[in-house]
Structure 1
């Protein structure tokens, strides 16, 4: 009997030992971080966050997670403190505190994500599930508590730092004044909504020296009477493109529509449909790319953080230019001067035309992903399937960015010039992010 008893004790010991290390397989899985970003993405979608404010949700949450990872593994990851000039040194964990940095990174992401979204506590149930997952996988109690406490410390620090970005001040800033002036933006149907985030260009950027660092030439001057003028020609070009769209072009326009709140009007009834914002779409692309490259947890977090920084700065720079130019949308010009019955293929968003936000942020994100993953990374983007839109395949991130850019012309909501200029503008921002930031230690 004794050998049998020893055998049972041995099996019990092995089971207990394995259980104590199982948590690493569960918690250190980069797929769990991707799922956590996707959870925030879903909350952003459900609560109608506009594209620019959504980019703020992503950037602070991802930076919080990354700073935890960098603190736990300084041999492989460099803190963003000092690289982002206004980010102070992030507090380290106490030397006598046991921390699982991957678990703490997940919790820090959620805590910051919770604080910068609404309604308050949107991620609480998800956080509880993460904690239960760690416990069920056998994470020791001292490690669990140390990780929870360190995540809270970093999240508190990042949130305090975030309050200096001028976001709160812009909540009470003056509203955009609509002027019936030739060539100036005015609200468009069917919502006729007021100008969205007219003061976003005043938000503190991460890497840009100033919000006005990359400012392209002014767009064509309003001149509707001369049919040979660049202004008139660009309007006719958009009208003709939309009027002759192929099935493939409609697919491209729908695929990159990324309208966080589309108002549908049927007779006297109206209802809204929602999709991921442009930044959310690129968060999904980041998930697909890091998964395909089989990146580990820390590297995955670092790619998300760098991409979200490019998106954030891209929106700030683009919005500064939009409300500097106050440029009119194609729909306004075409319906007023050329064809009153004309409509764009997709819905015109409520802010000035020049330059294209999709073009800027897509190109900025593409530069970061190209730097981190490769120039000829072919992939199929299936992230829009949850909205009933078939996937599109691309040979590179830059090709995807060009597709996103030109989709706005196909949709009839941008002049081609704004998209070409925006692509160049975004590339310069993305390249600056790549140049200034070194997240992984070489």
Structure 2
């Protein structure tokens, strides 16, 4: 009997000794990482970051977080150093330092997110909240300090590396020259804004050998004299589609609009409305999927990071092509040659048409997520509800990417060819990311 009671007591002791400390329950919750990514997404939205620069914010912050995870769990996760050929080895914690790698991962994300956004210190209050959360949950002081210090070391290393990507150089690069040349992009109403990030194709990619690695065929040549030619017919197609939109098609166009800064003009007054950028939308989708799959903290970080890399390289490749072609927007052609009073359903963004950026990056992200969860992963995307737009459901990520691409035709801002080509272009980029980068061992 005493032996039996001893066994019970021993078993209870083992169970209690295996119980996670409270700080691990709190700080290792993958939902906390999703909330942290969303916080950066909100800051990006509030401060009018264009889609391409937003993708830079996401990629460096996520890579910093992932490199911490890879350092803490080398048996299951591979460092990206060397896999991304220009990424140097990430610092390791000193031997006499204890680190909570999940907590350090969150902080590294925020430290880098703070450095690549503005105004300076945008995430300071959120970081203070994370630190207080760890202390309130009982994280030991030595573990707390070691985690903060290690997160700082990794963040500084990633920021030093980021400075070699030509971003600062492009800040002082020459502006796009507007020319009244047939078939060439010119600013469109109501903003008539200067061309956005004309030198983004000069940014150093992560996986692509260069921005020009994957280049599709040229779009149809300008020709408005031949009313049966490809160029004129593609413009007429956009006009006819927009003129007969169904309620469902308008919903699709609104859902994927993702205009980071829309200028609304009412009489003599004007005001701006903001939404997530296309990349921010796919960061939200990544959060939806990782939550649905109940992934652990470390795997959640890895999926966000791989998706962010695909988005980043997708924008670089697409922007190189845009300013290589300098292709005219449908709005310009339709209002000049078909109907002067015509307007697109959504606002035309300020950069050349070919190819569709949303098509490229959506397809790139979809390939990454498909590689992780399969081609029949059905989900409902409620990302746009905070902007008053109802959710949409999709049978797969690839179906969502095609929906995003075609929404640009429904919105009247792209020719269909640019969306079909962009979808294929993005898929090739996403597949290259999956092929070249190994996250899990």
Give yes or no for contact 1:20–1:137 (8 Å, CA) kept in 2. Answer: no
Structure 2 portions without partners, runs of 5+: 1-15
- The verdict on how the C-alpha distance between 1:432 and 1:19 changes in structure 2, with shifts beyond 3 A counting, is closer
> 2:265 and 2:198 mapped to 1: Cα distance?
26
Q: Does 1:123 align with 2:141?
A: no
SS in 2 for 1:425: helix
For residues 24-173 of structure 1, what are the structure 2 equivalents within 5 Å? 24-173=24-173
Alignment of 1:8-407 (within 5 A): 21-407=21-407
How many residue pairs get aligned? The number is: 427
Q: CA deviation at 1:95?
A: 1.4
The CA deviation string for residues 214-266 of structure 1, in whole angstroms up to 9 with x for no partner, is: 10000000000110110000000000000000000000000000000000000
Question: What does the per-residue CA deviation read over 1:305-361, in whole Å, with 9 as the maximum and x for residues that have no partner?
Answer: 000000000000000000000000000000000000100000000000000000000
Q: Secondary structure at the match of 2:187?
A: coil
Aligned to 1:265, the other structure's residue is in SS state: strand
Structure 1 portions without partners, runs of 5+: 1-15
Q: Which residue of 1 aligns with 2:430?
A: 430
Query: 1: CA distance between counterparts of 2:17 and 2:366?
Result: 44
Structure-2 change in CA distance of 1:20 and 1:294 (3 Å): closer
Q: What is the CA distance between 1:373 and its match in structure 2?
A: 1.7
**2-structure distance, mates of 1:395, 1:75:** 34
1:177-209 CA deviation, whole Å, 9 max, x = no partner? 000000000000000000000000000000001
Aligned residues of 1:216 and 1:425 also touching (Cα < 8 A): yes
TM-score (norm 1): 0.96
The Cα of 1:397 is off from its aligned counterpart by: 0.3
- 2:133 & 2:331 partners in 1: Cα distance? 51
1:96 deviates by: 1.2
Aligned-partner Cα distance in 1 for 2:96–2:314:
41
The whole-number CA distance in structure 2 between the counterparts of 1:207 and 1:19 is 41
Report SS of the residue matched to 1:275. coil
Output the CA distance in 2 between the equivalents of 1:373 and 1:55: 23
What is the RMSD computed on CA atoms of the aligned residues? 1.3
Query: Residues 195 and 350 of structure 1 are in contact (CA less than 8 Å); yes or no, is this contact kept in structure 2?
Result: yes
